[in-house]
Amino acid sequence: MKLLAKTNRIYLAFSLAIYLFAGLAFYQVVRILIYNEVETRLKVEKRDFEAYLKQHKAWSDTTYFVENKIDVVPVGRQTRLSETFIDTLIQNRYDQELMPFRQLTFYVPIKGVMHRVSIRKSLIQSYQLIEVITVTMAACLGLLLLGTFWFQGKLSGRLWLPFYESLSRIKRFNLASATPLQLDKPEINEFRELNEVLRKMGDKMQQDYRSLKEFTENASHEIQTPLALINAKVEQLIQSEKLTETQTRWIEEIYQASRRMARLNQGLLLLAKIDNQQFTDNQAVDLAALLAEKLGAMDEVLHHKRIAVKIGNLVPFAIQLPPALADSLVTNLVNNAIKHNHAEGRVELRSDGKNLSLGNTGHALVSNPERLFERFKKEGSGPDSVGLGLAIIKEICDTYGLEVQYDENNGWHRFGISRKVNEE
């Protein structure tokens, strides 16, 4: 969810709560004010009634009280009771509808007999006034809320425009390009400071990228040359007839160590190039077909180790991947399946178009499966292994939108590759 959408939703929910509370409070205040006014007028009528009794010593219906609908009923009590206000409904004599009234009830003695006096005043006009005020208030608050929400969205969009512009340029920024990161200088101080920090970070990252790339290229050339020379000289020494058995053994160890160093150097340089995204020639590659082809090329090794290969109906597993990395990926997978297999073992290749798996029989895993893809993490102690094969597989998959998983079950070791699901 975008930041503006999130903030607008929170603002809308908060505004609705505030407006609802304000509307209810305003309604209650208006209702209380109207009731106070009605009760005040009823009290005035009560004083007029008491003044009439004081003057005439008796009660008789007069036109003066017709509007207020006064009922005087004897109750036969000698004790004075307190006055009360209540809401009541009285049937209209004309259309037989129940009409709301506010009623004041009090007790007065008339000629020595206690009477209950009820003075009522119609609330029709008051309710109509409350309804009009309520509808008007709700409409005004609704329009205010919609207008404020619309204005907030437009204002936020304009205020955050420099941020989205900077974000768009950062997405298009390429470390391999010689063009530095170009960002505007907006009026808002926070965004201007953010752009300045991002620009400095971009310059530093480009500088580090160029330095690392230069180091990788130099190391690839400068280290491979002396290693190749060492291997060539050692091979010549091994073929010499004047060496003792001990010297031959030492030279053989030197030769194996130099070869291992060459493989280690190649693996580390490959990982560095993948990290730096120096492989840009992406092509559509069918990994399932490449794995089947690689297994076919390793037929002699598989036959020598008496390993059976089972390849089912392979559905193409096509992805965008540089050919060099695709070859490295399948080579490391196949080499791992052969190296950690045993005599009379099996290798099985499966692909359904969404998931690709290569399984092999082998001994139970000794190390922690969660650390299997770490660099220099080796399952065996063979001199030919440098512990980078699975790390290279993991790095290639992570860089190019793939997910690699390992599973061990009943003596079978399976490496599965699938496409990552993008999470919004």
> pLDDT digit string (tens) for 78-88?
555 678 888 88
Highest mean pLDDT among 34-38, 56-60, 210-214: 34-38
Last residue of a domain, one of 97, 130, 154: 154
**Are residues 405 and 364 both part of a single domain?**
yes
Average pLDDT over every residue of 323-335 = 88
**Are residues 248 and 292 both part of a single domain?**
no
Residue 269 forms part of a structural domain? yes
**Are residues 136 and 173 both part of a single domain?**
no
Strand ranges in 328-411 using DSSP code E only, listed in sequence order: 346-351, 355-361, 402-409
**Are residues 43 and 125 both part of a single domain?**
yes
Tokens linked to 198 = 């991002």
**Are residues 8 and 132 both part of a single domain?**
yes
**Are residues 12 and 147 both part of a single domain?**
yes
> pLDDT digit string (tens) for 130-143?
888 888 888 888 88
Average pLDDT over every residue of 98-123 = 83
**Are residues 197 and 122 both part of a single domain?**
no
Neighbours of 195 (CB within 10 A): 22
**Are residues 199 and 341 both part of a single domain?**
no
**Are residues 12 and 133 both part of a single domain?**
yes
Helix (H/G/I), strand (E/B), else coil: 116: strand
Residue 42 forms part of a structural domain? yes
Which pLDDT value is given to residue 259? 76
**Are residues 86 and 115 both part of a single domain?**
yes
β-pairing verdict for 355-361 and 318-321: unpaired
Which pLDDT value is given to residue 379? 58
- Number of domain units in the chain: 4
For residue 338, how many C-alpha atoms fall within 13 Å in the half-sphere facing its CB?
Answer: 23
β-pairing verdict for 346-351 and 308-311: parallel
Last residue of a domain, one of 132, 154, 176: 154
**Are residues 83 and 182 both part of a single domain?**
no
Domain membership of residue 247 as a residue range: 227-232+234-275
Name the least confident of 23-27, 58-62, 334-338.
Answer: 58-62
First to last CA, the chain: 8
Helix or strand (DSSP H, E) at 55? helix 3-56
β-pairing verdict for 402-409 and 70-74: unpaired
**Are residues 249 and 293 both part of a single domain?**
no
Alpha-carbon distance of 299 to 301, in angstroms, equals: 6
Contacts of 138 (CB under 8 A, 6+ apart): 23
Alpha-carbon distance of 119 to 46, in angstroms, equals: 8
Alpha-carbon distance of 191 to 214, in angstroms, equals: 34
Highest mean pLDDT among 184-193, 278-287, 323-332: 323-332
CATH number at residue 336: 3.30.565.10
Residue 424 forms part of a structural domain? no
Question: pTM for the whole thing?
Answer: 0.52
Residue 250 forms part of a structural domain? yes
Residue 79 forms part of a structural domain? yes
